Structure 1
């Protein structure tokens, strides 16, 4: 069976068809391992997106390509916000790692998981979320008017 699959894939590791696939579910802390998470929960991220994964790969200088029309097979919800996958070149044409920092895919997954919370888009979203929580706390602490009986 493996021989038949090799017949259709190019033998060159630098060919985009041979690049590794990273689905957002691989890095999602809300998923369990049977649901597709591939890294430890403490290194995973809360609901990552393909754009965030792409941003980290580009900042590392890795070749990557986003395929938004793809879905992870274990993701039953087919939610469009988490749709897509990112293909990343991990090996050069001669088979050597394209980055010495990432000899295998698990190292890349863990690094991406640690870098996504540091993205500017994540920091600004968290700032807005804490501001709305503070606003609701301030609004709830204001004294409310008491309703009494209507007088005739």
Structure 2
């Protein structure tokens, strides 16, 4: 499900590619991270990028699920994909004024990715099970 479809080579010039590794706090700059580690996200996916940029902001995003970042050594499915984002219109003007550069789009995506419902559910479920497990150990260790 993509918000925009790239139809010709001329249209592709107006789009920039964002690989999830650009925003990954587990990667070094040499491995492909483009933004500061303090603003990066843990293991983002191309689908999450599409969700953040397409539905929340209204940018035209085209998802390519089978593309891989050239320096990515891990060939697992979770590391595949890239998002092509439209930055400019046919006349050369910015598509959205709040995103004048590639880096501004990446910083916004990294800031908003932790707020996705899928991420909130994963984090909430893990914390709850950990707390329940600790509580059980405490009850067994207490003498009667």
Q: How does 1:98-109 map to 2 (within 5 A)?
A: 98-109=95-106
Give the corresponding residue for 1:6.
none
Give the corresponding residue for 2:88.
91
Structure 2 gap segments, 5+ residues each: 1-7
2:14–2:89 contact (8 Å) kept in structure 1:
no
TM-score of the pair, normalised by structure 2: 0.87
Q: How does 1:70-89 map to 2 (within 5 A)?
A: 70-89=67-86
Query: Cα offset for 1:18?
Result: 4.2
Alignment match of 1:28 (pick from 24, 27, 31):
24
Count, aligned residues = 134
Deviation per CA, 1:48-81, whole angstroms, max 9, x where unpaired? Answer: 0111100011121111111011000111011211
SS in 2 for 1:88: strand
TM-score of the pair, normalised by structure 1: 0.83
Deviating above 6 A after TM superposition, structure 1's stretches of 4 or more consecutive aligned residues are none
